[in-house]
Structure 1
Amino acid sequence: MYASTSQRNDDGLRASHNISLLIAKSGKPRTIGEKLILPALEEVLKTVLHKPASDIIKRIPLSNNSVERRIDEMSSDIESFLCNYLQTTHFSIQLDESTLPDNAALLLAYVRFIMNQEIYEELLFARTLITDTKGESIFHVLKDYFIEKAIPLSNIISVSTDGPPAMVGRYRGFISYLKLVAKILSVRLHESLHLVIIFAQLCEENDFHQLLLHTEVRWLSKGFTRFYALFETILEFLDTKDKMLKENLMKRKTDIAYLTDLFTKFNMVNLQLQGDSLNLIKTKSILSAFLARVKLMKQNIGRGEFSQFPNLSQTSCQEDDVSTYVQHLNAVYSDFESRFEDILTMVIPPWIINPYGDIEETNVIIQEELTELSTNEELKVQFKNGSNSGC
């Protein structure tokens, strides 16, 4: 009798853990266990199985606190297992610095490793960056975590930042380059950018921060497009809030239109440089194409052709405006070319793109392997299907 009761209690505890895991995976509030799941179970037991539900339900603790404890216990177990495994194996790590709605900086670390001949990717930790988001601060957060968990730094075999490894240039990732764009602005364009940021701060101070995204990174990625789309409405809004800011914004409308169009193009490239199917060959093609477009934009805008700048084309652009934008595009081109020199100058052998082509021009060392590959009919079909699907 005692053994039977003990077994039922263990089963209830096991069910509590399993349901808590489902709640955690769904992202639903922890209170859903007590408010919805238990009443649903009770209804199923009474209506379908015709069994008294109260005795069974009492053995499945799903209160808010119980679910929280179960999730914490499972998280701790998973983290301990993961860290113990990483202590004895090599792995790659991806670091992603993100900004929360309250402007707090969060560092996320993901690890990829091989276990039982399968590749796994797991979240290692999420830590708040208390001081700043400099490289040194990020390194110390990572180092302190590794020391705490006794994971040797020497087990790291590769590191990627700001997304896929191919997004990383000589110094920083492409997203970081977006932040850098503001630093190569002329004094005039920097002042125009600053006016937009001032408006964001005005919204935040007056509890209108939901009107526009207001962190600096988000202004560079999304905020400008939304800001310019609401430009006339914003001027009306400022008429009662800050008339001086309104007048300054009206004077810089062409600059804001230019920056909106330019950052939109950066966003398009940023999206292209994401995804699991990205590789160095595709990355070089994307970056080379963008660099060529920047050069073309500079030439076209220099002769008064604004078709590549739809917002700017609808403004009254003067000769001194054109000169400012040409100089800025020239600076963007030069800095972009220097920053991604390692990828842009990378030589890609033809056999990598088409291993079934002419092998006579390839390196003698790999000719034998390519010859064997070229006669493999099964791989030919797979290669053809992969090429047709864009893989």
Structure 2
Amino acid sequence: MKIPLHKCVSVTTDGAPAVVGRDQGVIARLKAMPSMLAFYCIIHPTVLCVKLNDHFQQLMCTAMKMINFLRSQSVLRHLRKFLKESDATCEDLLTYNNIRWLSKGNALSRLWSTRQELTSFLNTCTSLNARQFHEMMSSSKDMSDLAFLVDTCGHLNDLNLKLQEKNKTIINTLPAVQAL
């Protein structure tokens, strides 16, 4: 953008070693300028604070596997027809993209909103995977834990979207981070 570096007063990063680096990173080079301030992004601590323990990590992994199973070509056509016939709130599941972490919360939310229909659908399937996923969907403990994950990811998604709004400053966004 051809902005003279002496006019930059601060930079914010996610703390990645390639960016920060003690000697070769962008931040290390910019700190050579005496007036440059470096900040750590306020989004990342919120993501780190919800690192999942083993149980929740396993539940999240199983939920994502179930979504992938239900979206596989052998099952998807039947699932869509089933959801349409059962007047579900939506007619398809969302896929999770590991690159875009907001998609995990959206995929979980869609899974949660169709959980009753999906449980019925999995009960009609004969594969071993379907039976295992049906057991998870029928477990009140797993469903209460999944509800917690859906809510947590939803709050993180909301925060992330608030932080990305145009014309927002740290003064406007800090209360949202502190509230989370």
Query: Which interval holds the TM-score relative to the shorter structure?
Result: 0.5 to 0.7
Q: How many angstroms apart in 2 are the aligned matches of 1:200 and 1:96?
A: 33
For each residue in 1:117-155, what CA deviation from the matched residue of structure 2 results, as whole angstroms up to 9, or x when unmatched?
Answer: xxxxxxxxxxxxxxxxx9346789xx8xx9xxxxxx659
> Match of 2:95?
213
Secondary structure in structure 1 of the residue aligned to 2:166: coil
> Match of 1:287?
177
How high is the TM-score relative to the length of structure 2?
Answer: 0.59
Aligned: 1:226 with 2:107: no
1:237 to 95, 98, 121: 121
> Match of 2:137?
249
Q: How many angstroms apart in 2 are the aligned matches of 1:284 and 1:266?
A: 14
Give the structure with the higher percent strand.
1
Q: How many angstroms apart in 2 are the aligned matches of 1:249 and 1:235?
A: 6
For each residue in 1:238-281, what CA deviation from the matched residue of structure 2 results, as whole angstroms up to 9, or x when unmatched?
Answer: 23151112112321111111221222222232233232332233
1:278 to 149, 168, 179: 168
Change (3 A) 1:248 1:284: same
Deviation at 1:231, TM superposition (A): 0.7
**Structure 2 unaligned spans of 5+:** 77-91
For each residue in 1:180-220, what CA deviation from the matched residue of structure 2 results, as whole angstroms up to 9, or x when unmatched?
Answer: 3553x333322222221111332454374x73121242454
Q: How many angstroms apart in 1 are the aligned matches of 2:11 and 2:161?
A: 18
Q: How many residues align?
A: 147
Aligned-pair RMSD on alpha carbons? 4.0
Q: How many angstroms apart in 1 are the aligned matches of 2:113 and 2:138?
A: 14
Aligned: 1:194 with 2:67: no
> Match of 2:87?
none
Larger relative contact order (C-alpha < 8 A, sep ≥ 6)?
A: 2
2:41 to 160, 165, 168: 168
> Match of 1:135?
16
Q: How many angstroms apart in 1 are the aligned matches of 2:118 and 2:36?
A: 46
- Say whether the 8 Å CA contact 2:102–2:157 is kept in structure 1: no
Change (3 A) 1:96 1:288: closer
Q: Which has the larger radius of gyration?
A: 1
- Say whether the 8 Å CA contact 2:163–2:173 is kept in structure 1: yes
Change (3 A) 1:273 1:218: closer
- Say whether the 8 Å CA contact 1:228–1:260 is kept in structure 2: yes
Q: Identity over the aligned pairs, expressed in percent?
A: 14
Change (3 A) 1:283 1:211: closer
